[in-house]
Structure formats: structure tokens, C-alpha cells
Amino acid sequence: MAFLFNILTSVLEIYSWIVIIYILLSWFPGARDSSFGETLGRLVEPFLEPFRKIIPPLGMIDISPIVAILVLRFASAGLRELYYVLAGIV
């Protein structure tokens, strides 16, 4: 069970970093149009789309990626707590 927990937490951590890198690409003109940016877009946009539907942009600032990252962090913390309960670790 520890192996599965480690894999899931690692996947959530890596995906969080992928989202952060995708967000940072918006600071550089044309970066999202590169093959690297398009690949990240295919990975991240399906996850960000529901947040963008719920949270409107504040002027020119889109805060939905911040909320998405928080959701990933909360999911990781919830997974950790679930593991501790199932493993009997207090």
C-alpha cells in the first residue's frame, strides 16, 4: 500500500509542477505555441477548463490555475491523511 501511496503522491506533485510550468509559459510570447507548450497544453487544459468555467477572470488575470493548484494540493493532503488512517499511523 505504501508503494501505491508513493506513486499517487508523486503523480500529483509532478502534475502540480506541470501546471505551474504551463502557467509560466504565458509570460513568454509564443511559448505556448511551441511544441513543448502545445504538449503541456494538452495535459493541463482539460484539468483547467472546469475551473475557468466556474471562476471568471479578474480583468486580465486568470486565477483559475491558482485554484486548480490548490485543489491538487488538497487532494495530496487528503490522500496522505487517508493513507495514515488506513495504515494506522497517528
What pLDDT digit, counting tens, does each position of 30-74 carry? Answer: 999 999 999 999 999 999 999 999 998 888 888 999 999 999 999
Report, as an integer, the average pLDDT of 1-19. 93
Tell me the backbone φ, ψ of residue 58, rounded to 5 degrees.
-95, 90
DSSP per-residue codes, 6-64:
HHHHHHHHHHHHHHHHHHHHTTSTTGGGSHHHHHHHHHHHHHHHHHHHHS--BTTB--H
Looking at residue 90, its pLDDT comes to: 61
78 vs 2, more confident: 78
